[in-house]
Amino acid sequence: MSNAAGFTLKDLSDLSDSPLLTLLDHICEGSLIVDDHARILWISDKYRSVLGVDPQLDVRGMPVEELIPNSMMRQIVRSGQPMLLDLLRAHETWMVVTRIPIRDQFDQVIGGIGFVFYKDMDYLKGFVEKYGRLSGRPTSAEQQAVSLRDTKYTFADFIGQSEPVERLLQRARRAAELDTTVLLLGETGTGKEVLAHAIHHASVRTDEPFVSINMAAVPDNLMEAEFFGVAPGAYTGADRKGRKGKIHLADKGTLFLDEVGDLPHNLQSKLLRVLQEQEFERLGSNEVVQVDVRILAATSRDLKAMVDAGDFRADLYYRLNVLPIQVPPLRDHIEDLELLADSMIRRIAHGLGMSRKWLSADAVDYLKSWHWPGNVRELQNTLERTFIFAQGSTLKADDFLPPSPEDTSSSSVAPTIEPLSDAVARAEREAIIQALNATGNNRSQAAKALGISRANLYEKMTRLGMT
Ligand SMILES: Nc1ncnc2c1ncn2[C@@H]1O[C@H](COP(=O)(O)OP(=O)(O)OP(=O)(O)O)[C@@H](O)[C@H]1O
C-alpha cells in the first residue's frame, strides 16, 4: 500500500489485496472501496453476506446506493471529510461504521473506503450507558434505540441524481445546518416526509426527538389534546392522569407538522404562539410550558391561495414560510426513475423474501412515459404490484398495467385482465388521487367529494399505501 497522501487510481483498485486491508477486514464485519463517483470498486465477501448480496453478483461499477441505500460514501468522496464513527442502517440492522476518503498526490479525493465494525447495536449498549453517565445525562440503551428509530430516513435515502434533485438536496442540506423553520412544498408522494426526517437527522438536534403529527390523520376534535397535551385531572377516563402533547415530546428536538394546510382554524393561532414564543398551555391548565422546538412543516396544498381565500392565517403562513423548499414532482425529474425503481425493487424483493428482479429497458421507457400524479409513492405501489405478479426475473413493459388515460402521454400496451381485488384497489387509488387533485389536496373536501368520512379516506389511503 502506498502512502495515504499519495494514492493513485491503480493503488485504489489494488488496495483490496493489501495485507493491511485483509487484516482489517478480518477483524471487522466487512469493508468496501468506492471510486470518486461513489461507484463500487470492491466489496469484501463478509460485507456481501451482511447485506445479503448474491456472492456471484458483479457489483463493480454500481453506484454504492444500489447496494446500500443509506450509504454516506458519496458524501465522503464529495466532501473529502472522513466519518470516523457513524451508524448505518442497512438490511434492517444498525451497524457501526467508519468511512475515510482516499486522496492522490495532488490531494484530490479519488475514492473512499468504508468499514463495518459492529453489525449489532447491542455492542453499543454498554458504551452508550457509559457515555450517558459521563456526560451527566441519565440515559439508557432503550432510550437510544427509541430515538434512533425516530428518524427513519437520512439524505442518502432520498434517491435521485438529476439536476432538480441535486438542487433540492443542496437547499435541504443548507436548511439542516440552519436551525430555522422550514416549509416543504410539493405534490403528494414527492418525498417531503423523507426530507423532513433527513433534515432533522443532519441537524444539530439529531440526538433529540423527532416527533411528527399529521394534521390530515387526526380528527379535529382530538387535535388540540394531541398537540398540547392534557393536564392531570382535566378529564376523566384515559386522560385522567394527564399526558404530554407532541409539542412537549419534541422539546429540544424537531416537530414535523405534516399536511399543515389541514390545521383547523382554531389551532392556527395557538401554533403561531408556539412558533413565536416557544410556549403553550396544556388543555385544562393555565400553567405556561416553555419549549425549545424546531418546526418543519409540509403541505401539498397551495398555502398562499388558502391565505388569499381566508382559510389559513397570513401571519402563521409567513412564520412557516421562512425557508420554503419546493420538492419537484416525479415527472420533472423523470431521469431519476430508473435509479428510484432499481432501489425500490431491491427493497421489495428483500421485504417479500424473494430474489431480485430487473427492469427491462422497454419497461423503463414505458414507465418514463407515464404522468405519475401520485409521484414516487405511486411508482413504489406500481412496482410492488407488478413485482408480485410478474413471472421470471425481468419486469417487462407489458407486465405493467397501463395507467388510466389521463395519467399517461402514450401507451401502446394492450389492457390485461387483473384480479378483482387489484382492480378495486386501483380504482379506489385513482378516485382518491383525482379527488385530491381536484381539491388542491384538501383531504376534508376530497373525502366529502368521494362521499366518505375523512377518517375513512385516511384509512383507505393507509391501506393502499398512499400515506
Ligand atoms: N426521492 C425519493 N427517494 C426515495 N424514496 C422516495 C423519494 N421520494 C419519495 N419516496 C418514497 O415515496 C413514498 C412517499 O414519500 P413521502 O411520504 O415522503 O411523500 P410526501 O411528499 O410526504 O407525501 P404526502 O404529501 O402525501 O404526505 C415513501 O415511501 C418514500 O420513501
Place of cell 403528494: 188
Would you state the pLDDT for residue 139? Answer: 38
In angstroms, the CA 360 to CA 382 distance is 15
User: Measured in angstroms, how far is the CA atom of residue 191 from the centroid of ligand 1?
Assistant: 3
Q: Is 257 helix (H, G, I), strand (E, B) or coil?
A: strand
For residue 293, the 8-state DSSP code is: -
437 has pLDDT over 50 = yes
Pocket test for ligand 1, best of 376, 381, 457 (most atoms within 8 A of CB): 376
Burial 72-91 (b: 16+ CB within 10 A, else e): bbbbbbeeeeebeeeebbbe
User: Measured in angstroms, how far is the CA atom of residue 357 from the centroid of ligand 1?
Assistant: 22
Looking at the domain that runs over 151-326, which CATH code has it been given? 3.40.50.300
User: Measured in angstroms, how far is the CA atom of residue 377 from the centroid of ligand 1?
Assistant: 6
Contact 442/428 with Cβ under 8 angstroms?
no
Would you state the pLDDT for residue 417? Answer: 59
Tell me if domain 4-119 and domain 151-326 are identical in fold.
no
- Give the residue from 147, 166, 109, 116 showing the smallest Cα distance to 336: 166
Residues with CB under 6 A from ligand 1: 157-160, 186, 188-194, 258, 298, 300, 340, 376-377, 380
How far is the CA of 359 from the CAs of 59, 88, 363, 386, 398, in angstroms?
Answer: 17, 27, 6, 11, 11
Is residue 353 exposed (0-12), middle (13-18) or buried (19+ Cβ within 10 Å)? exposed
Of all atoms in ligand 1, which is nearest to the CA of residue 299? 25
Would you state the pLDDT for residue 137? Answer: 46
For residue 412, the 8-state DSSP code is: -
In angstroms, the CA 466 to CA 436 distance is 12
Of all atoms in ligand 1, which is nearest to the CA of residue 184? 21
User: Measured in angstroms, how far is the CA atom of residue 230 from the centroid of ligand 1?
Assistant: 32
In angstroms, the CA 341 to CA 359 distance is 8
CATH number for 4-119: choose from 3.30.70.870, 3.40.50.300, 3.40.50.720, 3.30.450.20: 3.30.450.20
- The residue nearest atom 25 of ligand 1, judged by CA position, is 188
User: Measured in angstroms, how far is the CA atom of residue 370 from the centroid of ligand 1?
Assistant: 18
Tens of pLDDT, residue by residue over 129-178, are 555 555 544 334 334 334 444 567 889 889 999 999 999 999 999 999 88
Q: Give the mean pLDDT of 13-38.
A: 81
Would you state the pLDDT for residue 239? Answer: 59
Contact 92/372 with Cβ under 8 angstroms?
no
Indicate yes or no: pTM above 0.95. no
Of 235 and 460, which is predicted with more confidence? 460
Per domain, the residue ranges of the chain are 4-119, 151-326, 332-463
User: Measured in angstroms, how far is the CA atom of residue 294 from the centroid of ligand 1?
Assistant: 21
Would you state the pLDDT for residue 410? Answer: 39
Would you state the pLDDT for residue 376? Answer: 95
- The residue nearest atom 9 of ligand 1, judged by CA position, is 191
CATH 1.10.8.60 describes domain 332-463: yes
3-state secondary structure 129-184: HHHHHHCCCCCCHHHHHHHHHHCCCCHHHCCCCCHHHHHHHHHHHHHHHCCCCEEE
ipTM confidence score: 0.98
Would you state the pLDDT for residue 435? Answer: 84
Would you state the pLDDT for residue 1? Answer: 41
